[in-house]
Structure 1
Amino acid sequence: MELTGRTALITGSTAGIGAETAKLMAEAGTEVLVSGRDAERGTAVVNAIAENGGLARFFAADLSDLESLRILADRVGAVDILVNNAAVILPAPTASQDVASFEAVLAANVRAPYFLTAALAPAMLAQGAGSIVNVSSTLARVGTPGTSVYSATKAALESLTRTWAAEFSPAGVRVNAVAPGPTRTDALLGALGEEGAEQVGKSTLLGRIASPREIAEVILFLASDRSAYLTGATVAADAGATAV
């Protein structure tokens, strides 16, 4: 298995893309550190991995809280792979965006990956190897009414991807991002419903929404040595939504 002997921390991995990434990385031999706020769902992901012969542990954390983030970083210690997947979206038209939700989205989507990366990157740099994968969104590149704050945070994460690559890659730590298009997650279905999600999928060149597993495959590729010559890149896994 290509990632045997490596340890990966995947934030927001109790459901959706994060959970599928955790399961896929475990299949590739990684010891997976599952992180999220919901202990019940996190335990379910860990159990599913164990039942399939993989190795995983759950770490409860609310990354929008800096003390919780610090405790998580201390508990997991050195890792070989970091996937910054956890995110919050609180849609609102710009004119009615309230400060509390604005700050909540920034805290979860920018501040959390920034300081978690700052805490964990030094160990990767010391060993001269590592891979950081940031999960962005097509909304970082496509204007959509009501998502101004979320879209801005994802654009910031893509910018951080390039800056971190410039900072870390000369020492052997690669940093890349994946920008998923519409994906069949609880968040998307909860926001749009089945019919609305399907309509969004039809607007892509492939005419459908992605499964979480399809996005997880791209994350695995970016985390593994198969992408050894790739750093500072954002891969658009969006069925061509941003290509035309």
Structure 2
Amino acid sequence: MSDSTDLAGRTALVTGATAGIGRAVALKLADRGAEVVVHGRDPLRGSEVVDEIAARGGRARFVVADLANADEVVRLAENAGQVDILVNNAGIYVFTSTPETSAESFDRHVAINTRAPFLLVGALAPAMAKRGYGAVVNVTSTAATTVAPVGAAYGASKAAVELLTRSWATEFGASGVRVNGVSPGPVRTAGTEQMLGESVEVLGQANIRGRVGEPDEIADVVLFLVDGRSSYVNGTVVVANGGERSSLPG
């Protein structure tokens, strides 16, 4: 490519792209010239993102799939076609204690947050490797590395993705496919505000920046990890959490 930030001629699949971080990622990828496959479960919201991308001069199409269903994940990969950039962003989070987390809830966390990225990489990365080019970015969470008295199922599902990120970087890196992750701290989205209410702002005050993140800030990290500026970055999870405060006095 003539410009390391130019993604013209590339196709990107972004899961969970109808809202929040995923939507911000889809818009930025399209602005850089990529054709974006917008994934989600709601056709109305999906069409809104596609229309917004088109209004900005980009190209996109929507594919619906329930990532809790393994067969639909496989069909999503088939319907996406040739993919050069895969952003595994979709995820669910329920912050309950272990006794209050049902087997169904645990399985759903693993299915959507861990198994779906696993199946998509398994379906799409080999073709990337054959072409000698590809970029995968997994959106994880600081819950993968920070312990808390609630949300163990969510944290475990994201910790697994961080291990998979390093494994896939080793498995496909020699063939030209880079696999990295971004681990956001609290981010202001409709989903987090619905789940946590005003607690989102309180969580943001705990970091050095003293605020929650915005979807565009995480999307910019994703953009860096898929374009030529990060050509020497592979198997890394970039933490974007505003900076942790020191636990030492003072």
So what's the TM-score if we normalise by structure 2?
A: 0.95
Residue 156 of structure 2 corresponds to residue 152 of structure 1: yes
Residue type of the alignment partner of 1:176: N
Q: Distance in 2 between matches of 1:95 and 1:75?
A: 39
**SS at 1:208 equivalent:** coil
The aligned amino acid for 1:187 is: G
Deviation at 1:19, TM superposition (A): 0.2
Q: After superposition, what is the alpha-carbon deviation per residue over 1:167-212, rounded to whole angstroms, capped at 9, x for unaligned?
A: 000111000000001101111101221x321111110110001110
Higher helix share: 1
| Displacement after TM superposition at 1:95 (Å) | 1.8
User: Which whole-Å deviations, capped at 9, do the CAs of 1:209-240 have from their partners, x for residues lacking one?
Assistant: 11100000000000111100000000001111
Q: Deviations over 1:111-152 (max 9, x none)?
A: 111011100011101101100000000111111221100001
Aligned: 1:20 with 2:24:
yes
Percent identity of equivalent pairs:
48
Verify the 8 A CA contact 1:181 1:241 in the aligned structure 2.
Answer: no
Asked whether the 8 Å contact 1:138–1:179 carries over to 2, the reply is yes
1:231 aligns with 2:229: no
| Whole-angstrom CA distance in 2 between matches of 1:83 and 1:128 | 18
**2:119 corresponds to 1:119:** no
**Which residue is equivalent to 2:41?**
37
Aligned to 1:240: 243
Report the equivalent of 2:111.
Answer: 107
Which stretch shifts more, 9-18 or 138-147?
138-147
Distance 2:151 2:60 in 1: 34
Contact 2:206 2:245 in 1 (8 A): no
Is the CA contact (8 Å cut-off) linking 1:138 and 1:242 kept in structure 2? no
Query: Contact conserved, 2:208 with 2:245, CA < 8 A, in 1?
Result: no
1:8 pairs, out of 4, 12, 15, with 12
Structure 2 residue 43 is the aligned partner of structure 1 residue 56: no
Report the more deviating stretch, 166-175 or 141-150.
141-150
d(CA) in 2 for partners of 1:242, 1:25: 32
Match of 1:73 in 2: 77
- Where do 5+ consecutive residues of structure 2 fail to align? none
Q: Does 1:143 align with 2:142?
A: no
Partner of 2:190: 186
1:134 is the counterpart of 2:150? no
For 1:61, give the aligned amino acid.
Answer: A
Q: Distance in 1 between matches of 2:195 and 2:71?
A: 30
Whichever residue aligns with residue 146 of structure 1, its letter is V
- Give the corresponding residue for 2:205: 202
- Which consecutive residues of structure 1, in runs of 5 or more, have no partner in the other structure? none
Query: SS of the residue aligned with 1:96?
Result: coil
CA RMSD in angstroms, aligned pairs only? 1.2
Query: Is 1:220–2:243 an aligned residue pair?
Result: no
Q: How far did 1:242 drift?
A: 7.8
- Please state how far the C-alpha of 1:76 moved relative to its aligned partner: 1.2
